[in-house]
């Protein structure tokens, strides 16, 4: 799982680098025409759309990423979008929590708590989620 996370982070960094390089190139080429506000608006919309497409696969979503990028700046929007958790990661976390809580009663409570603690140590669960699931197991 750690290897997959490194690959995902690497892909995000590649996208970030491409967008940043494109922004620098575009604004460098048209630095002399800054009086042309149409060009600035078009560039802002294009970079906001690029950020929005990244946000489409994340919890922040397409629309939120677009407006955040458009209103603040594409770079700030991109940073917030990349910090937002991916939808697939959230689905995986929910699936793991479901499996942890609904295990057959053959396992003892200590085994369930041990597995839950391992998920917390691996970073799959936050402290709040760990405490919530622990209470569910203890109250069952």
Quick: pLDDT tens for 2-42.
Answer: 455 555 555 666 676 677 667 666 666 665 555 666 777 77
Average pLDDT, the chain: 75
Buried b (16+ CB within 10 A) or exposed e, 29-40: eeeeeeeeeeee
Provide mean pLDDT across the span 84-110: 70
CB atoms under 10 Å from CB of 60, counted, come to 23
Would you say 69 and 78 are in contact if contact means Cβ atoms under 8 Å apart?
Answer: yes
- In the chain, % helix, strand, coil (3-state, to 5) comes to 80, 0, 20
Q: What residues does each domain of the chain span?
A: 2-83, 87-139
């Amino acid at each position: 799982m750690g290897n997959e996370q490194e690959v995902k982070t690497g892909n995000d960094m590649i996208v970030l680098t491409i967008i940043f390089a494109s922004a620098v190139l575009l604004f460098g080429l048209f630095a002399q025409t800054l009086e042309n506000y149409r060009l600035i608006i078009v560039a802002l919309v294009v970079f906001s759309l690029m950020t929005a497409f990244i946000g489409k696969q994340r919890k922040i979503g397409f629309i939120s990423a677009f407006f955040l990028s458009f209103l603040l700046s594409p770079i700030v929007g991109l940073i917030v979008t990349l910090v937002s958790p991916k939808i697939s990661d959230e689905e995986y976390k929910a699936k793991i929590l479901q499996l942890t809580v609904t295990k057959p009663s053959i396992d003892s409570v200590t085994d369930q708590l041990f597995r839950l603690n391992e998920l917390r140590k691996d970073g799959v669960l936050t402290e709040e989620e760990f405490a919530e699931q622990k209470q569910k197991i203890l109250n069952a």
